[in-house]
Amino acid sequence: MAPRKKSTKGSAVSDREIIIPRDYADWLASLKSHISGARQRATIAVNQELVRLYHHIGTEILERQTRQGWGAKVIDRLAADLRAAFPEMKGFSTSNLKYMRFFAEKCPTGLIGQQPADQLPWFHLVTLLTKVSADSERAWYAAQVIQQG
């Protein structure tokens, strides 16, 4: 395959043409692959941190409700205060805070079976926790999601 030429009309090198090396397409594909991989790893890392944060918040709510007898109105207020403090973030609705509490209650160690819960997207965790009541089934589904991607 012959090198491709690209016109640079309007650039500082307007009188010349750039010759694209033969391996440029392969190099570009490799860069795209690395960029996609980095983006995917960043998304996974963000998800893991959010799940850990949600577990922490859920644990705090659970402990305070147990110790101080908090009711649902305190969770409503907490949701409003967190949304006001972090308006750019999603996830601080009353219902999501209740899911965080439920998550901390059902998975106090942050594990579903032997699987770290932070390897699953939050929506999958909520679905597993609310739709699958048996711990053994929940553990099996969590393992399948992690293995299958």
Q: Mean pLDDT for each 10-residue chunk of the chain (149 residues)? A: 53 67 95 97 94 96 89 89 96 96 94 88 92 91 85
In a domain, 17, yes or no: no
Q: Which residue has the tokens 């594990």?
A: 111
Check if the beta carbon of residue 92 is closer than 8 Å to that of residue 24: no
pLDDT at 9: 54
In a domain, 43, yes or no: yes
pLDDT at 147: 86
Q: Could you list the residue range(s) of the whole structural domain that residue 102 is in?
A: 24-148
In a domain, 108, yes or no: yes
pLDDT at 50: 95
In a domain, 11, yes or no: no
Assessment of whether the complete model's pTM goes beyond 0.75: yes
The torsion of the CA quartet 131, 115, 42, 126, rounded to 10 degrees, works out to 10
In a domain, 6, yes or no: no
The per-residue b/e assignment along 35-54, b for 16 or more CB within 10 angstroms, e otherwise, is: eeeeeeeeeeeebeeebeeb
Backbone angles phi, psi at 148, to 5 degrees: -85, -15
Helix (H) or strand (E) holding 6: strand 4-7
In a domain, 10, yes or no: no
pLDDT at 5: 54
In a domain, 93, yes or no: yes
pLDDT at 61: 95
Structural domains counted in the chain? 1
Residue type, 17: E
In a domain, 61, yes or no: yes
